[in-house]
Structure 1
C-alpha cells in the first residue's frame, strides 16, 4: 500500500481532533497541579494517535463492508469510500486496523501497570467506543448517539486521561475533580461533537440509503442545524464556568475571540450543507476553537 493511500485510509488529517484535547489536558494538569510525567505522556500520545488511526481505518472498511450492494450505493462504493476507490483488500484493511490497535493496546496496558487501574477502565471504555463506533451488529455511528460518543470520548476522555497520567501519584480521582475536568473540556467536547453532527447533516440522504438512522433522521435537519449552532454557545459557556470555578486561567477567556470566525462559519453552514463544500467548516471551527484554547491557556500559565 502506498503511503498516500495509507494516510488517506487512516484519515491522518483528522488526528488534530485528538491531539488538541491531549495538549489541553496536559496544560490543565500544569495549571492546577504543576507537574507532568513527560515519558508517560509521550507514550500516551503515541498510543492514542495510533488508536485514533485504527478507529478511522475501522470506520472506513466497515462502511465499505456493510454497505448494501445495489445500484443506489454503487457510487459510494466505487468513488467515495477510500477502500473502494483505492481497491484496498479487506485483509489489508483488517491487518492495518488491528495492527495499529494492537500496538496501541500494548502501550496502554503497560501504562496501566505504571499509573493504576483507573487508566484501565478509561482505556476499556475508549477502546470499546473505538471499535463499536463502526463495528458490531449496530454501529454507534449509524445510530442517534454518534455525536455524543465522538464528542465525549475525544473531547473529554483524552483530556481526562492526559490529566490522570500527569497527576496519578499526587491527586486522588474524585467525582469533584472529574466534574471539574468535564466542565473544563466542555468547549472541546461540543466542538468535536459538531464535526460528527455536520457530517451527518450533510450525509442525511445518503445515510438513509445506507440504512443508517442518525439523530438527523429522527429529529430532522432544521432542528439539528439549531443544535449545531447552539452547541458552540454551550461550549463557550463551559469555558466561562471553568474560569469562574478557578480550574482554568482567566486568560483562557480570550478564547471567546474565536467566536467571531466560528459563528461566521456556522452561519455559512446553516445556509448550505454540502459535504464537499461546507462540511470542512465544522473541522475549521473545531481547529480554531481548540487552537485558540491552547494558545490562551498557555499564556495563562505563563502569566499566572
Structure 2
C-alpha cells in the first residue's frame, strides 16, 4: 500500500487538528497548575495518532462492507475506488491498531486506572462507530458521541497527563476542562452535522439514520448556526470563572468571520461544494482558540 493511499484511507490529513486539541489541554494545565509538559503527553500524542489512523481505516473498511449503495462502494469509498485488496486493508488496520495498543498499554502502566478507563472507552467508540448491529454512525448520536470524544476527551486527557502529579489534589477538574473545551465540542459536532446533512440522501440508501434524518436539513442548518453562536457563551464562561485570561475573549472575533464563511453552506448543502467551507470555518476556531488560549496561558 502506497503512502498516498494510506494518507487517504487513514485520513491522516485530519490528524493535525488533534494536536491543537492536545495543545489546548496542555495550556489548561499551565493555567490551572503551572505546568505545561509531561513525557506522558508525548506518548499520548503518538498513541492518539495510531488510533486515529487505525479507526479511520476500520471505518472505511466497514462502510465498504456494509454499503448497500453500489455507487458508494465503487466511486465514493476509497477501497472500491482504488480497487484495494480487503486483506491488505485489514492487515494495515491490525498492524497500526497493535502499535496503538502497545503505546497505550505503556502509558496506562505509567499512569492510573482513570487513563485506562478513558482509553477503553475511546477504543469502544472508535471501533463501534461503524460496526455492530447498530453502529454509532447510523444512529441519532452519530454527531454527539464523536464530538464529545474528540472535542472534550482528547484535551481533557492531555491536561490530566500534563498535570498528572497534581491530580490527587485537584478539585473540579472534569467540569473545568469541560467548560474550556466546549468550543471544540461544538466545532466537532458541527463538522459531523454538516457532513451528515450533505450525505442525507446517500445515508438513507445505506440505512443510516443520523440526527439529520430525524430533524431534517433545514433544522440541522439552524442547529449548526445556533451552536456556532453558543461558542461565545462558553468562551465568556471560561473567562468569568477565571479558567482563562480575559485576552481569551479575542477569540470571539472569529465568530463573525465564521458566520460570513458559512453563508454558501446555509444556502446549499452540497458535499463537494459547500461542506469543505464548513470544515474551513470550524477549523478557524479549532486552531485559533487553542493558540490564543496558549498565548494567554503564558501571560
TM over 0.5: yes
User: RMSD of the TM alignment (CA)?
Assistant: 1.4
Q: Does the 8 A contact of 1:19 with 1:49 survive in 2?
A: no
1:301 Cα deviation from its structure 2 partner: 2.2
Partner of 2:160: 164
1:228 is aligned to 2:224: yes
Q: C-alpha deviations, 1:210-266, integer Å up to 9, x for none?
A: 111111111111111111111111222111111111112221111111112211122
Provide the C-alpha distance between the structure 1 equivalents of 2:144 and 2:171, rounded to a whole number of angstroms.
Answer: 21
- Residue 83 in 1 paired to residue 63 in 2? no
Q: Distance in 2 between matches of 1:218 and 1:190?
A: 20
Q: Is the 8 A contact 1:78 1:85 kept in 2?
A: yes
For residues 194 and 169 of structure 2, what CA distance do their matches in structure 1 show?
34
- State which of 257, 260, 270 in structure 1 corresponds to 2:266: 270
Q: CA deviation at 1:12?
A: 1.4
Q: What pairs up with 1:22-101 in 2 under 5 angstroms?
A: 22-68=22-68, 73-101=69-97
Where structure 2 has 5 or more consecutive residues not aligned to the other structure, the ranges are: none
Specify every segment of 5 or more residues in structure 1 that has no aligned partner in the other structure, as ranges: none
Question: Residue 107 of structure 2 corresponds to which residue in structure 1?
Answer: 111
Q: Alpha-carbon deviation of 1:299?
A: 2.0
Moved more, 113-122 or 12-21: 12-21
In structure 2, what is the Cα distance between the partners aligned to 1:250 and 1:105? 40
Aligned residues: 299
How far off is 1:174 after superposition?
6.2
Q: 1:255 aligns with which of 245, 251, 257?
A: 251
Structure 2: how far apart are the matches of 1:114 and 1:249? 32
Query: Match for residue 207 of structure 1?
Result: 203
So what's the TM-score if we normalise by structure 2?
0.96
Contact 2:38 2:161 in 1 (8 A): no
Give yes or no for contact 1:17–1:192 (8 Å, CA) kept in 2: no
SS at match of 1:191: helix
| Separation in 2, partners of 1:143, 1:256 | 33
Q: Deviations over 1:101-121 (max 9, x none)?
A: 221122111111111111001
Deviates more, 1:58-67 or 1:232-241: 232-241
* Cα deviation 1:79-104 (Å, max 9, x = unaligned): 11011111112222222222212211
Partner of 1:302: 298
